[in-house]
Amino acid sequence: MTAIAELAAALAPGKVLTDPDVTDSYARDRTFLEPGKPLAVVLAETRDDVVAVLRWATGHRVPVVPRGAGTGLAGGATAVDGCVVLALHKMKAIRELSPADEIAVVEPGVITADLDRAAREHGLMYAPDPSSYEISTIGGNLATNAGGLRCVKYGVTRDSALGLEVVLADGRILNTGRRTMKGVTGYDLTGLFVGSEGTLGVITAATVRLRRAPSVYPATIAAEFTSLRDAAAAVAAIIAAGCQPSLLEMLDRATLKALDDWKNIGLEASTQAMLIAQADGADGPAVSERMSELCTANGASFVAVSSSQQEAEELIGIRRMGFQAVERLGKCLVEDVCVPRSALPYMIEKIEAIAVRHEVTITTAAHAGDGNLHPVFIFDQDLAEPPPNVWAAADEVFREALEMGGTLTGEHGVGLLKRRWLSMEAGPVSAEVHLGIKQLFDPLGILNPGKAV
């Protein structure tokens, strides 16, 4: 019996796919990276399926690449040659939703927006909301420690993860964390696995924190600026004033132009940037008014406040569609550097200068409230990977972010794309510790090899 036949025999019929045309469709994420050729794809439906796959993989020393919905932007879910892709999107049960404890227990294939909708039936919400929330999965969000539009107030995925059920490389099951809001017993293993990009174990369930949903849909502010610098200054003023927005996003002209060409949003010729903001607290109307005043005081050429939930959702929709609009311009190298909020105006200026110096089209959107910028480097659709000037521009962006006390990635993860810069941020001691942790949890190196560390 071949190794793949042995794997198929350990699982129910139809769960192991080997047709190359089919497996290729599971081998990619949303990056330009050319994936390796997997031996097979396993469509896991239960924790026991994951256990069986990892026991088999350990016995045969076959790499395993966990995969959610394939919406990653750093190459973390791309297949490597000779691997088994462990697809988790069919594990989509919400095992429990407790309004009394304000928690949910969910499997990794649950769509982020579906969990939020289920929570809202009980007056609650799931706070993390990446722009891909309608298609990305909880498992993928946990693997990359995803952020999203509301992270300025509610934090990233790690801030909502209370406990995990994880299958280790050898098939053992590890339960981390708790169901309570507090707990300091032992090391924070939950925090360790969140953001580990499938390199330490495969998450098969998560206990996540839910929060009270706003009683009314918050008004949305859209402010237009004739310069990016003014928009960034308005962000700094809003934070300095203690407004505590629940959402504070920024789009540059290149992103707005892509949106206008696609959806005809009525972009003015003078508009160089747009801020989109919300405040969802009980004092939301007063905070919204204050944020509007601060935008005007910092050079906004136009400020509008939504008058209905539909208008508010349409304005938020502009932000969520930004990357889709930019993707229409060509292939994209998508980055997500994060800098201290006080450095945001300077980082934006640096990105603009880098684009000119290297003759590269760079669009920039940002979770401006927490200094997380998404510069997207556009290159020719016919090229297999970015040309040298794009890599040089990206290199300079990363170096500038680090010099400002920032980080290579705020929420997308390292994956494959950022490994070339990892040593610049981590340093030799950190690298040694990371590799030691990897060796402890995955001594054979079969879990998502080549990614993250």
| CATH 3.30.70.2190 corresponds to the domain 215-327 | yes
H/E stretch holding 337: none
Residue boundaries of the structural domains of the chain: 3-87, 94-212, 215-327
pLDDT for 122:
98
In the chain, the amino acid numbered 262 is: W
Looking at per-residue pLDDT, the higher value among 417 and 223 belongs to 223
Give the mean pLDDT of the chain: 95
Token pair recorded at residue 260: 């206008």
Q: How confident is the model at residue 151 (pLDDT cuts 50, 70, 90)?
A: very high
DSSP 174-226: EEEE-SSS---SSS-HHHHHTTSTTSS-EEEEEEEE-EEPPSSPPPEEEEEES
Quick one: pLDDT band at residue 1, thresholds 50, 70, 90?
low
CATH topology of domain 94-212: 3.30.465
Which amino acid, 276?
I
User: What class has domain 3-87?
Assistant: alpha beta
Which residues lie below 8 Å from residue 315, measured CB to CB, with a gap of 6+? 220, 222, 276, 306
Q: What is residue 77's DSSP assignment?
A: T
Confidence at residue 359, expressed as pLDDT on a 0 to 100 scale:
97
pLDDT per residue as tens digits for the range 91-110:
999 999 999 999 999 999 99
Comparing 225 with 422, which gets the higher pLDDT? Answer: 225
Quote the Cα angle for 269-270-274, to 5°. 105
Percent of the chain whose predicted confidence (pLDDT) is above 70: 100
Contact status, residue 68 vs residue 109, Cβ threshold 8 Å: yes
pLDDT tens, position by position, 312-359? 999 999 999 999 999 999 999 999 999 998 899 899 999 999 999 999
Q: Grade residue 420 by pLDDT with cuts at 50, 70 and 90.
A: confident
Asked if the model's pLDDT at residue 424 lies above 70, the reply is yes
3-state helix, strand, coil split of the chain in percent (to 5) is 40, 20, 40
Asked if residue 279 lies in contact with residue 218, where contact means CB atoms within 8 angstroms, the answer is yes
pLDDT in tens, 228-237: 989 999 999 9
Three-state SS for 242-309 is CCCCCEEEEEEHHHHHHHHHHHCCCCCCCCCEEEEEECCCCCHHHHHHHHHHHHHHCCEEEEEECCCH
